[in-house]
Amino acid sequence: MGITARGIGLLVAAVLLLAAGFRFGYPELTLLGAAAGTALAVALVAAARRPRLLVSRQADPDRVARGEPAAMTLTVRNAGRVGAASMLATDRCGDRLVPVPVLRLRAGSDTTVSYPVPTSRRGVVPVGPLRVTRRDPLGLVVLARSYGDVVPVWVHPRIHPLRAVPTGAGRSLDGRVDAVPHGSITFDSLREYVVGDELRRVHWRTSARVGELMVRENVDTSLPRIVVLLDNRSVAHPDRVGGVAESFESACEAAASVVTAAVHEDLPVVLLFVTADDASVDSIGTGPSGPLDRLAAVTLTNEGTLEAATARLRRDRLGDTLVVLTGPGATEDLGHVGALRGAYPSVVAGIFGAAEPTPPGAAGLVVVDAADGAAFAAEWDGVRRW
């Protein structure tokens, strides 16, 4: 709550009039001061009355690729019994404010406004909350409150179709790459029986001991696994255009393209960042833990080193094909990536925004130099060996 300049002037006048009226014995001045103070008190009560507003939002859609259209529909309903007079509202959409027509919104009625969400840049665009400002009829007091929750709109990197998907050194027993839904080779764990499980997978000895049907879970250890490491260090992407590191944006597009291509081929894929130490297997999903959502939210940081990230990869051995995506500031660190050739049979490095092409065979790697995500996709499909 705040007092406007007009309210401050009236408050000062009330104090002076009351002081002069009592000091010099002028009842007229005392009456005027009391009237000014009463007006200010009434204004405080009027502005402090909290309107009952129900706010709902609907993003259409809430996940888009960079550059695709997205809209937010906001509905505000007055659930009170008295009309909310002198009420102004604005909705926050990213860094801008959107006016919402709620002035003189009658009790029981609602208003709806729809506006586009900016998707020109990759990221998470927070929309909300609704900011409602109330003033008294005399404009003496102003009070602002927030309504509704913040709804994120996920702007994913652009995805460029890839025809070639590395299969690494893993092969199934008949020489082909097979995606077996329940595994085929190595025992992994036991779980409770659910309707639809094959009876030949029931582990009868354990079932007799625990009193419930228990089913064997197997994994296919020959199935290729792809590891994508995105370099999100600021030193790796030193060039800025309008405050944006275009090489990093291109690397995000490349990561999204590789992950999406692997998922379409039903191949396990792991998405990692240089500054993060989680190594969970992700799939394209609707939750914020999906890889595309993670790529939308990732930002450049000043922490972490490529040497530490490669040390974790060497220790964990998460797959057989490693794809490292970085910028021009990391060309001197490719030796750390090349040292992973013993742990990962196939290592590919994508470098974006470099002034000069990387020498062939640098650090013993397959190097893909590209200016942006589209150029990376074209070069990627032209790689003859993994």
CATH of the domain at 110: 2.60.40.10
Task: Say if 203 falls within a structural domain.
Answer: yes
Task: Say if 175 falls within a structural domain.
Answer: no
Are 215 and 314 members of one domain? no
Are 271 and 359 members of one domain? yes
Are 326 and 236 members of one domain? yes
Distance CA 295, CA 63 (A): 12
Task: Say if 94 falls within a structural domain.
Answer: yes
The pLDDT of residue 318 is 85
Task: Say if 169 falls within a structural domain.
Answer: no
Average pLDDT, stretch 355-379? 82
Of 196, 219, 242, which residue constitutes the final position of a domain? 219
The pLDDT of residue 342 is 83
Are 334 and 242 members of one domain? yes
The pLDDT of residue 183 is 44
Are 233 and 345 members of one domain? yes
Are 131 and 102 members of one domain? yes
Distance CA 40, CA 188 (A): 74
Q: Strand ranges (DSSP E) for the chain?
A: 2-3, 53-60, 63-65, 71-78, 87-93, 96-100, 110-116, 123-135, 141-147, 151-156, 186-192, 214-219, 226-230, 269-273, 321-326, 346-352, 366-370
Are 300 and 281 members of one domain? yes
pLDDT band, very low/low/confident/very high, at 167 (cuts 50, 70, 90): low
Residues in the chain: 386
Q: CA distances (Å), 173 to each of 170, 177, 184, 223, in order?
A: 10, 9, 10, 10
Task: Say if 19 falls within a structural domain.
Answer: yes
Are 231 and 377 members of one domain? yes
Task: Say if 165 falls within a structural domain.
Answer: no
Task: Say if 167 falls within a structural domain.
Answer: no
pLDDT digits (tens, 9 = 90+) for 31-61: 999 999 999 888 888 777 778 889 999 999 9
Are 276 and 366 members of one domain? yes
Structural domain span for residue 351: 226-381
The pLDDT of residue 265 is 86
Query: Burial, 94: exposed, middle or buried (Cβ in 10 Å; 0-12, 13-18, 19+)?
Result: middle
Are 35 and 93 members of one domain? no
Average pLDDT, stretch 363-371? 83
The pLDDT of residue 139 is 83
Give the chain's domain count: 4
Mean pLDDT of the chain, nearest integer: 84
Are 39 and 105 members of one domain? no
Are 371 and 263 members of one domain? yes
Peptide bond into 288 cis (omega under 30): no
* This prediction's pTM: 0.77
Average pLDDT, stretch 139-146? 88
pLDDT band, very low/low/confident/very high, at 102 (cuts 50, 70, 90): confident
What percent of the chain is predicted at pLDDT more than 90? Answer: 43
Main-chain phi, psi angles of 227, to 5 degrees: -115, 125
| Tokens (6 digits) for 251 | 């690397």
Average pLDDT, stretch 243-260? 95
pLDDT band, very low/low/confident/very high, at 126 (cuts 50, 70, 90): very high
Average pLDDT, stretch 269-292? 64
Task: Say if 205 falls within a structural domain.
Answer: yes
pLDDT digits (tens, 9 = 90+) for 6-18: 889 989 999 999 9
